[in-house]
């Protein structure tokens, strides 16, 4: 039986940079809300996920899913992402993943979920709403909100 890792952080962001000198992650533009000019739509660009785990024993397969909470449908899935720990399972292991454009079929609540060995280990709620008509910063195929 595989030991289940512990999710310490799950953050969606516009950009995640890695400092060349220190190796630290710089997370810019975090969000959990998307806005669409109409439905169905897709978010206007790719984004990034920052994932931090502990209790990682060896190499573990990670799956990310974007799920419509209205009907349980998986709209986006990234499989076979591997996280590897050093010899110390208490160490923190971090991963940055580029996420394809989020589908926005309708207004409502969605979940961005993390699985290890096909078991859920955590999630982030994402809300999709109609974009405000007077906003001049909207992208043609979807915008993000704060």
pLDDT at 2 over 80: no
State the pLDDT at residue 133: 59
Please give the Cα distance from 12 to 27 (Å, whole number).
9
- In this prediction, residue 136 has a pLDDT band, given cuts at 50, 70 and 90, of very low
What are the sequence ranges of the domains in the chain?
A: 6-101+109-144
- In this prediction, residue 1 has a pLDDT band, given cuts at 50, 70 and 90, of low
Using one digit for the tens of pLDDT, what is the confidence trace for 78-123? 999 999 888 887 899 999 999 999 999 999 999 999 999 999 999 9
pLDDT at 138 over 90: no
- In this prediction, residue 3 has a pLDDT band, given cuts at 50, 70 and 90, of confident
User: For 6-101+109-144, which CATH class?
Assistant: mainly beta
State the pLDDT at residue 14: 97
Q: Which distant-in-sequence residues (6+ apart) come within 8 Å of 69 by Cβ?
A: 108, 109, 110, 111
Please give the Cα distance from 110 to 12 (Å, whole number).
13
Using one digit for the tens of pLDDT, what is the confidence trace for 25-63? 999 999 999 999 999 999 999 999 999 999 998 899 999
pTM: 0.87
Contact call for residues 64 and 49 (beta carbons, < 8 A): yes
Q: How many CB atoms lie within 10 A of CB 48?
A: 19
Reported as half-sphere exposure (CB side, CA atoms, 13 A), residue 102 has a value of 32
């Amino acid at each position: 039986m595989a030991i289940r890792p512990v999710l310490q952080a799950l953050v969606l962001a516009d950009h995640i940079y890695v400092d060349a000198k220190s190796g630290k992650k710089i997370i810019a533009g975090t969000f959990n809300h998307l806005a669409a000019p109409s439905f169905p739509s897709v978010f206007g660009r790719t984004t990034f996920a920052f994932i931090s785990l502990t209790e990682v024993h060896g190499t573990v397969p990670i799956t990310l899913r974007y799920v419509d909470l209205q009907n349980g449908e998986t709209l986006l899935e990234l499989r076979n992402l591997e996280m590897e720990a050093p010899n110390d399972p208490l160490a923190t292991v971090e991963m940055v993943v580029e996420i394809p454009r989020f589908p926005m079929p309708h207004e409502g609540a969605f979940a961005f979920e993390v699985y290890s060995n096909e078991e859920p280990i955590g999630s982030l709620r994402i809300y999709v709403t109609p974009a405000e008509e007077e906003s001049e910063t909207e992208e043609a195929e979807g915008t993000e909100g704060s």
